[in-house]
Amino acid sequence: MRPEESKRANRTVERIIMQRGKRPFGGIRSETDVAEYRAFERIENLPQMGFSLFTRGDKRHGFFYHSIDNIDLFEDDDEDEFLRFTHRGKAVTMRGRGLHEVFDAIMDHTLQVLYEYHDGWNSPRPDGAIIDRVQVDSLEDMAAMTAQNMRHARQ
């Protein structure tokens, strides 16, 4: 392989890897080097195959667009926004604000990564999107719990 071909191949591989989302802190940071919080990142005009979700405790979940079902976005009486979807046996629920943009990015397949807010981030901008709570549940566990609640309600 010629040097220019090698450089081009390396750039291509690097671009593919970067499209999968970055870890929230990308390594160790000092207390004065705090990351700016962004709820999500999307890549305009470049559809993705899936996206990552980073939750508190640096847990990473991956979702493929072709396996997402039942996506809903709604607001409650307190004006909190909730986004929920199911994916291959998982139910994901997020609470925050500015989630309409996240919903649109999922529908457009341009969402790259989502981040749940925690104390390790700088405070989010007042007008910016925030995901302040995320819950990822097993649909099997949820069905068992629902059946148990129904049995108790019958008694």
What are the domain boundaries of the chain?
36-154
Q: What angle do CA 46, 49, 50 make, to 5 degrees?
A: 110
Query: Residue 5 has which token pair?
Result: 């071909």
Give the least confident one: 82-91, 100-109, 138-147: 138-147
Of 130, 127, 137, which is closest to residue 114 (Cα–Cα)?
A: 130
- Residue 16, pLDDT score: 52
Rounded mean pLDDT, 97-107 = 95
Rounded mean pLDDT, 129-135 = 95
* pTM confidence score: 0.73
114 near 52, Cβ under 8 Å?
yes
